[in-house]
Chains A and B, each alone.
Chain A
C-alpha cells in the first residue's frame, strides 16, 4: 500500500490527488507566465509614448495574457482543487473515471504548450519574427480574426489551442458531475455537501453546456480560415455578430465558471475560521444554482455598443441587474457568517475576507455597466479592465489563494508560514488596488483598452504610473508566496490531520492523505460531520490503518497517449499538412482502444 515513486508513476498516475498536484503546478506555471505578460504590458504603459514593445508585440501580449489567465491559470487552478479536495469532501476513494481524469490533465498541459509554442515558432512559419502568438484579443472578434485581416498563424494557434483545451474541460466536467452525484459516502445527501463541492457541481454543469457553444464558434472560424466558408463574412450575407453572440453565449457563463469555485472556497474557509456554520447554507447553495441558470441570460450586455435595439438592450440590462441579486445574497451570507463568530485571523481568512471586499467593488462596477447608456461610455475603455480585474483578480485569485493557504497542509503535509502569508496578503491587496483602482479613472478619462500607447495630453500619465507600480507590487507579493512555498518544503511545520478544526471530511484523514484516502468510508449523519452542535457530536475519524486490504487502481499510459493525438491533429491545419491529421487521429484512436480494453478495476 506504499505510494509508488519515480517519473513513471507520475506520468501514468490516475490518483486524483496526484492529478490535482499536477494541475496545480502546471496552472501555477502558466499563472506566472500570464503575470509576466501583464508586467511587460504595464511597463509599456508606465509612461506615455512608451517604447518597451512594438504595437504588434503588445497585441500578442494582451491576447495571451487574457487567454492564459482564463484558460490556463484560473480554470485549471480551480480544477486542481476540484481534483484534490472534492473526492475527500464527499468521502470517496477517487473520482468516477480516474483515467478520464488523467486524460483531462494531459490534454490541458498539451493544449497550453501548443498555445504558448506560438511565442517561439515564428521561424517555422517564415514569419520574420520569433513570436507568432495570437493577437486578436482573448475574445477573438470576427471579422478581425478572418484570414483576410489576420493572415499569419497567430489566430490559428489560438483557435486550435482553445479547441484542444475545451476537450479537457468537457471531459473533466462529465467526470466531476458523476463523481459528485454518484460517489458520495453513505448519508452524504445533496444538502449535506460542503459548499465548495456544491459550487464545483454547478461549475461543471456550466462547463459542459457552455463549452460546446464556443467549440462551434471556433469550428466556424476554422472553416472560414481554412476552407473558405463565410460564417462571419459580411459580403456573403453573413455577419460578424454571429461570432459575438456565440462567443458571449459561452463567455458570460465562463465568468461564472471562474468565480463560482472561488465562492465555494470562501464559503468553506469562513465558517472554519469563524467557528460557526455557514449562515444560510441552503440559500448560498440555491443562489449558486440560480447564478448558474441566470448566467445564460445576460450575454448581450457584452454587446450593448453593437446597437441591438432598445428592446434587446432593456431586457439584457434587466437580467444583468437581476443576476446581481443572488450574488448579493451570498455576500450578506458571508458577512453574517463572520458576525459574532470566534474569529481566527489566519492568512486563509485574510484572503477570504479580501475576496469579499474586492469582489464587492468589482460587482458594483459591473452593475454600473449593466445600464446601456452608462456602458456606452465605459465599453472598450480601461474602466472595463478595472472591473474584470476586480472580479477575476480581486475575486477569483483572492479566493484561490484562500484555498491554497487553507488546503496546503492537506495537500503537502506542511503548513505555509503564517507571517509570510500575511506579508503576501497585504502586499497583494495594496498592490492590486494601486494597479486596478486608477484604471476606473483612466477609463472614464477616455483611455481605450488594447491600444499600445497613449499621448501625454490625455492626462492619464500619473495614474498609469501608479497602476504600473501597483502591478509590480503584486509581482513582489507573488514572489513572497513562492518563497513561502520553497521555505515550507524544508522548514514548514508538519500538519496534523486537522490543523484548522474544519467541519468537513477532508480533515478526518492524514495530511497528505494515503493513496486510498479513507481507511474506512465514513457514514455521514449531518452537514458538519466533524463538529459537535446542539444536536450531534463529531463523527469518529477513520482508523490510521485500514482494517482490510483496499484495492487501489494501478496507473495507465493510455490517457496520455490518447491526449497526444489531439495536439498532433491540431498541427495539421497549423502547418497546412493534411497527412498529420490522420497520424493524430490514429494516435488518439490507438490510445482510446488500449484504454478501453486494458484491465483496470476501479
Chain B
C-alpha cells in the first residue's frame, strides 16, 4: 500500500522497464536511420573501387540473414519456455539464440576479412566508410545481445532465472528482435538493392 509504485502498479499498466525499452528502441531507430540514410546518400559516389557489385556476396550473406532470422525464432521459443516455467527448454533456447548470434558474428568476421583481402578497407572509398560503419554498428549491437543472452543463460544454469524473471527475458527478446529487424533493412538496402 505504501510501497513505491514502480514495480507494483503503473499508471499506463505497462511494466516500466518495458516502456523504457520501447523508448530506447525508438531512439535506436534514429541512430540506424541516420546511418542508413548516410549510406543511401553516398551510394554510387565512390570515386575508386571496389564497388558494391564487385564485392558483395549475396548467397553468403543470405545464409547469415537466415541464421539471424532463425535466432529470432529461438528467442520466441525461449521466452515461451520461461513464461510457462519450463526452464530446461528455456536454457536450451536461450543458448541456441546466443549461438546463432555468434554464428552471425562469425559470418561478419569472415565477410569483413574477405573484403579487406579484396582491397576494400574502411578508408578505401565512400562505400567502404559507409558499409563498415553501418554493418559494424549493427554487429556491435548483435555482440551486446549475445553477451546479454549468455548472461541470462548462465543465470538460468545457476537456477537464478525463472518464470518470475519472464519480463527480463521478454525485454531481451525485444532488443534481439529489433536488432534482427534492423538487419533485414540493412540486408535489403545494402545487398539486395544495388
* Chain A residues packing against B (C-beta within 8 Å): 92-94, 96-97, 170, 173-175, 177-178, 181-184, 188, 208-213, 215-217, 219-220, 223, 227-231, 236-238, 242, 246, 249, 520-521, 546-551, 553, 593, 601-602
Q: Does B86 contact A (CB under 8 A)?
A: no
21 sampled A-B residue pairs with Cβ under 8 A: A93-B4, A174-B24, A182-B14, A183-B5, A208-B26, A208-B27, A212-B30, A216-B31, A217-B34, A228-B122, A230-B126, A236-B125, A237-B47, A237-B126, A242-B42, A521-B2, A521-B5, A546-B2, A549-B2, A553-B4, A602-B7
Closest approach, in angstroms, between the C-beta of B64 and any C-beta of chain A? 24
B-side contacts of A242, CB under 8 Å: 38, 41-42
> Contacts A96-B20, A178-B20, A181-B12 hold; do A220 and B42 have CB atoms under 8 A apart?
no
* Of the residues A92, A177, A231, contact of B23 by C-beta under 8 Å: A177
Q: Does B114 contact A (CB under 8 A)?
A: no
Q: Given the complex of chains A and B, what is the CA–CA distance between A236 and B46 in angstroms? A: 7
A-side contacts of B123, CB under 8 Å: 227-230
Q: Does B3 contact A (CB under 8 A)?
A: yes
B-side contacts of A184, CB under 8 Å: 11
Cβ B129 vs Cβ A602 within 8 A: no
Q: Given the complex of chains A and B, what is the CA–CA distance between A220 and B20 in angstroms? A: 27
Cβ A174 vs Cβ B20 within 8 A: yes
Q: Give the contacts of B84-99 with A (CB-CB under 8 A).
A: none
* Of the residues B5, B23, B31, contact of A173 by C-beta under 8 Å: B23
Q: How many A-B residue pairs have CB under 8 A?
A: 128
Cβ B38 vs Cβ A220 within 8 A: yes
Cβ B23 vs Cβ A551 within 8 A: no
Cβ B46 vs Cβ A237 within 8 A: yes
Cβ A178 vs Cβ B11 within 8 A: no
Cβ A212 vs Cβ B31 within 8 A: yes
Closest approach, in angstroms, between the C-beta of B121 and any C-beta of chain A? 8
Closest approach, in angstroms, between the C-beta of A343 and any C-beta of chain B? 35
Cβ A548 vs Cβ B10 within 8 A: no
Q: Does B77 contact A (CB under 8 A)?
A: no
Cβ B31 vs Cβ A238 within 8 A: no
B-side contacts of A208, CB under 8 Å: 23-24, 26-27
Q: Does B58 contact A (CB under 8 A)?
A: no
A-side contacts of B108, CB under 8 Å: none
* Of the residues A175, A217, A551, contact of B3 by C-beta under 8 Å: A551
Cβ A183 vs Cβ B6 within 8 A: yes
Q: Does B35 contact A (CB under 8 A)?
A: yes
Closest approach, in angstroms, between the C-beta of A454 and any C-beta of chain B? 39
Q: Given the complex of chains A and B, what is the CA–CA distance between A593 and B129 in angstroms? A: 33
Closest approach, in angstroms, between the C-beta of B150 and any C-beta of chain A? 12
A-side contacts of B41, CB under 8 Å: 242
Q: Given the complex of chains A and B, what is the CA–CA distance between A209 and B23 in angstroms? A: 9
Q: Given the complex of chains A and B, what is the CA–CA distance between A208 and B137 in angstroms? A: 18
Q: Given the complex of chains A and B, what is the CA–CA distance between A219 and B10 in angstroms? A: 37
Q: Given the complex of chains A and B, what is the CA–CA distance between A94 and B6 in angstroms? A: 9
Closest approach, in angstroms, between the C-beta of B38 and any C-beta of chain A? 7
A-side contacts of B42, CB under 8 Å: 237-238, 242
* Most chain B CB atoms below 10 A, which of A236, A521, A601: A236
B-side contacts of A553, CB under 8 Å: 4
Q: Does B16 contact A (CB under 8 A)?
A: yes
With A183-B16, A209-B26 known, 17 other A-B pairs at CB within 8 A are A170-B27, A175-B20, A182-B11, A182-B12, A183-B11, A188-B11, A213-B30, A220-B38, A227-B122, A229-B133, A230-B123, A236-B126, A237-B45, A521-B5, A548-B2, A550-B2, A602-B6
A-side contacts of B31, CB under 8 Å: 212-213, 215-216
Closest approach, in angstroms, between the C-beta of A97 and any C-beta of chain B? 7
Closest approach, in angstroms, between the C-beta of B82 and any C-beta of chain A? 17
Closest approach, in angstroms, between the C-beta of B143 and any C-beta of chain A? 11
Cβ B122 vs Cβ A96 within 8 A: no
Q: Given the complex of chains A and B, what is the CA–CA distance between A229 and B12 in angstroms? A: 46
Q: How large is the interface on B (under 10, 10 to 19, 20 to 34, 35 or more residues)?
A: 35 or more
Cβ A230 vs Cβ B129 within 8 A: yes
- A188's closest neighbor in chain B, by CB? B11
- A227's closest neighbor in chain B, by CB? B122
- B128's closest neighbor in chain A, by CB? A229
Type the 1/0 row for B12-26, where 1 means its CB is closer than 8 Å to any CB of A.
Answer: 101010011001101
B-side contacts of A215, CB under 8 Å: 31
B-side contacts of A223, CB under 8 Å: 122, 129, 133
Q: Given the complex of chains A and B, what is the CA–CA distance between A183 and B33 in angstroms? A: 31
Closest approach, in angstroms, between the C-beta of B103 and any C-beta of chain A? 23
Q: Given the complex of chains A and B, what is the CA–CA distance between A170 and B27 in angstroms? A: 8
> Contacts A177-B23, A209-B26, A230-B126 hold; do A220 and B133 have CB atoms under 8 A apart?
yes
Q: Given the complex of chains A and B, what is the CA–CA distance between A550 and B10 in angstroms? A: 18
Closest approach, in angstroms, between the C-beta of B174 and any C-beta of chain A? 13
Q: Given the complex of chains A and B, what is the CA–CA distance between A217 and B31 in angstroms? A: 10
A-side contacts of B129, CB under 8 Å: 223, 229-231, 238
* Most chain B CB atoms below 10 A, which of A228, A230, A551: A230
Closest approach, in angstroms, between the C-beta of A178 and any C-beta of chain B? 5
Closest approach, in angstroms, between the C-beta of B156 and any C-beta of chain A? 14
Closest approach, in angstroms, between the C-beta of B30 and any C-beta of chain A? 4
Closest approach, in angstroms, between the C-beta of A13 and any C-beta of chain B? 16
Q: Given the complex of chains A and B, what is the CA–CA distance between A242 and B133 in angstroms? A: 15
> Contacts A182-B14, A209-B27 hold; do A92 and B5 have CB atoms under 8 A apart?
yes
> Contacts A231-B129, A602-B6 hold; do A96 and B16 have CB atoms under 8 A apart?
yes
B-side contacts of A92, CB under 8 Å: 4-5
Type the 1/0 row for B96-126, where 1 means its CB is closer than 8 Å to any CB of A.
Answer: 0000000000000000000000000011011
- A589's closest neighbor in chain B, by CB? B147
Closest approach, in angstroms, between the C-beta of A240 and any C-beta of chain B? 13
> Contacts A209-B26, A237-B125 hold; do A177 and B20 have CB atoms under 8 A apart?
yes
Closest approach, in angstroms, between the C-beta of A236 and any C-beta of chain B? 6
Cβ A216 vs Cβ B35 within 8 A: yes
Q: Does B1 contact A (CB under 8 A)?
A: yes
Q: Given the complex of chains A and B, what is the CA–CA distance between A173 and B26 in angstroms? A: 12
Cβ A213 vs Cβ B23 within 8 A: no
Closest approach, in angstroms, between the C-beta of A190 and any C-beta of chain B? 9
Closest approach, in angstroms, between the C-beta of B155 and any C-beta of chain A? 9
The 5 closest A-B pairs by CB, nearest first: A228-B123, A212-B31, A216-B34, A229-B129, A212-B30
B-side contacts of A174, CB under 8 Å: 20, 23-24, 27
B-side contacts of A177, CB under 8 Å: 19-20, 23
* Most chain A CB atoms below 10 A, which of B5, B24, B33, B46: B5
A-side contacts of B11, CB under 8 Å: 181-184, 188
Cβ A182 vs Cβ B27 within 8 A: no
A-side contacts of B133, CB under 8 Å: 219-220, 223, 229
A-side contacts of B1, CB under 8 Å: 548
> Contacts A216-B34, A227-B122, A237-B45 hold; do A602 and B26 have CB atoms under 8 A apart?
no
Q: Given the complex of chains A and B, what is the CA–CA distance between A440 and B129 in angstroms? A: 43
B-side contacts of A183, CB under 8 Å: 5-6, 10-11, 16
